[in-house]
Chain A
Amino acid sequence: SQTIHQWPATLVQPVGSPLSLECTVEGTSNPNLYWYRQAAGRGLQLLFYSVGIGQISSEVPQNLSASRPQDRQFILSSKKLLLSDSGFYLCAWSPGTPYNYGYTFGSGTRLTVV
């Protein structure tokens, strides 16, 4: 069966520090991968998605970046965190096809920038 792992679960980082969040998927090949952010009490904001190794699409210009160095690994990074980067970060995957499968989400990383 397919599983998705996301870590760390909680992170407190000072302003200006770097960030690296990792997400891995098991039990499937060539998944579509997604990074979302959810501000407190708000909906989901799509940050990045990837349909293959090295292929990253950015939805929102910001100081975050994403990389996909391996088929089932998706990394969210920042060189210098801002206070506004605080939030709940969610990784998700879906099969390349069919598109009506739906998403499977990780358990999330709660990031607090202080």
Chain B
Amino acid sequence: GDSVTQMEGPVTLSEEAFLTINCTYTATGYPSLFWYVQYPGEGLQLLLKATKADDKGSNKGFEATYRKETTSFHLEKGSVQVSDSAVYFCALDTGGFKTIFGAGTRLFVKA
């Protein structure tokens, strides 16, 4: 079945460091891919998305490229801030009424 695998956390970085959170997927068909962010005590927010191969989603300095050949959708940010500390979820949707979420990766950014 369809699945999403994220790198295990927590990821701890210093402010202004480069961030990569790996995400790979298994899916039949042509899924849309998403990154969601969850700040402490809050619900999830859609961060960015890509709907077809080679698309790049971007928002708030974060970006991810839909790589069909490697079935990956890694999240990157060039310079993280303390305010980026949160849990990040990779997800896919193949149109079957359900989105498949990864387990989440917790990011801590130190000042």
Contact = CB atoms under 8 A, between A and B. Distances in A.
Interface in B55-111: 89, 93-95, 97-99, 101-104
B68 to A, nearest CB: 15
A102 B95 CA distance: 11
B98 A46 contact: yes
B104 to A, nearest CB: 5
Contact of A43 (B49, B51, B98, B104): B104
B43 A43 contact: no
Interface residues of A, number: 22
Interface string A74-114: 00000000000000001010100001101111111010000
A15 interface: no
A104 B93 CA distance: 14
A5 to B, nearest CB: 11
Contact of B49 (A42, A46, A100): A100
Given A32-B97, A43-B103, A44-B101, A103 B44 contact: yes
A51 interface: yes
B43 A90 contact: yes
Given A102-B99, A107-B43, 11 more contacts: A32-B97, A42-B103, A46-B98, A92-B43, A94-B99, A99-B93, A100-B32, A102-B34, A108-B41, A108-B42, A110-B41
Interface of A: 6, 32, 42-44, 46, 49, 51, 57, 90, 92, 94, 99-100, 102-108, 110
